[in-house]
């Protein structure tokens, strides 16, 4: 880990991404301390008020402070990103390990299922599923997770196809170790590096998807604050309240950029083929 951190520090863009991610974590964790107002506090005298000392990022159509809602929206974004990406990685890790290690008919069936899933545009598949479920944050996280595991599955399968030909895996099998032990003790620890990179990049994708769903009105529902549903209000008031579109949009942009930079940096550090170049 020390060596990985040292190599990561040499990548200035990865350091920038890590700084953005760390800042977002601090903001989300300290939301009750940093938010100057309650997210549901209505100020009828300051409806659609422009940015000022009292409200640094202005107010929305109900007079609620945008800074406070943006800060708590960071919590929603991180929760959705981590749970969705984590679920996708778990599903992809399990199915990819089974397909790569056992091969044969199981590999064929699982890979054909992956191909079928990849035929559907993921965002439209999410829209179709959400249409039949309540648009709660837990349903959104579940749907995003179960529709974005295919890339991880392919990565893990490819790693296991290589690993099962390695001496340490063959030695474990020759000594009579059951498949479960071989996979858990010898296979997964050596296949986890690309999964970790996929997880970081998946967090960015999940945040972007949640924001898009909320913008369309089928994501996180008011009064819960979300960058996407703040943008939704900004769409209808952009001529008189530009701050409702600008600041949430910048927050989404910076967050996704930070995770992508960190993920690319980790990929460069963890992939030995890239380090040799």
Distance CA 239, CA 144 (A): 33
- Which secondary-structure segment (H or E) carries 213? helix 188-215
Kindly tell me if the per-residue pLDDT of 5 is higher than 80: no
Q: What angle do CA 188, 191, 194 make, to 5 degrees?
A: 135
pLDDT of residue 91: 94
pLDDT of residue 176: 83
Q: Which two tokens stand for residue 261?
A: 């930079």
Q: Give which of 129, 123, 127, 137 is closest to 223, Cα–Cα.
A: 137
pLDDT tens for each residue of 28-73: 999 999 988 888 888 878 888 888 888 889 888 888 989 999 999 9
pTM of this structure: 0.87
Please list, in sequence order, all residues whose beta carbon lies within 8 angstroms of the beta carbon of residue 35, skipping any fewer than 6 positions away.
65, 67, 68, 71, 72
pLDDT tens for each residue of 197-225: 889 999 999 999 888 888 888 878 778 88
Q: Mean pLDDT across the stretch 175-191? A: 85
Domains belonging to the chain, first-starting first, are 2-275 (1.10.3720.10)
Q: What angle do CA 131, 135, 139 make, to 5 degrees?
A: 95
pLDDT of residue 277: 46
Distance CA 80, CA 206 (A): 7
Q: What is the mean pLDDT of the chain?
A: 85
pLDDT of residue 276: 47
Say which range, 15-29, 73-87, 170-184, has the weakest mean pLDDT.
170-184
């Amino acid at each position: 880990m020390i060596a990985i951190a040292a190599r990561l520090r040499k990548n200035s863009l990865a350091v920038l991404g890590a700084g953005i991610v760390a800042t977002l974590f601090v903001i989300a964790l300290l939301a009750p301390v940093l938010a100057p107002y309650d997210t549901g506090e209505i100020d009828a005298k300051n409806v659609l008020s422009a940015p000022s000392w009292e409200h640094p990022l202005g107010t929305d159509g109900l007079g609620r402070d945008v800074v406070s809602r943006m800060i708590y929206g960071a919590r929603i974004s991180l929760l959705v990103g981590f749970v969705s990406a984590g679920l996708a990685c778990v599903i992809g890790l399990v199915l990819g390990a089974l397909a790569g290690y056992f091969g044969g008919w199981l590999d064929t069936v699982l890979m054909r299922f992956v191909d079928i899933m990849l035929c559907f545009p993921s965002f439209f598949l999410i829209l179709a599923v959400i249409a039949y479920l309540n648009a709660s944050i837990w349903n959104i996280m579940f749907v995003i997770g179960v529709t974005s595991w295919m890339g991880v599955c392919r990565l893990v399968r490819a790693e296991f196809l290589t690993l099962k030909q390695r001496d340490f895996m063959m030695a474990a099998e020759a000594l009579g170790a059951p498949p479960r032990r071989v996979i858990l003790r010898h296979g997964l620890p050596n296949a986890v590096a690309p999964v970790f990179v996929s997880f970081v990049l998946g967090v960015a994708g999940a945040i972007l998807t949640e924001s898009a769903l909320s913008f369309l009105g089928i994501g996180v529902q008011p009064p819960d604050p979300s960058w996407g549903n703040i943008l939704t209000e900004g769409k209808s008031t952009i001529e008189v309240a530009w701050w409702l579109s600008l600041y949430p949009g910048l927050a989404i942009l910076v967050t996704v950029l930070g995770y992508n930079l960190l993920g690319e940096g980790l990929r460069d550090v963890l992939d030995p083929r890239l380090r040799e170049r």
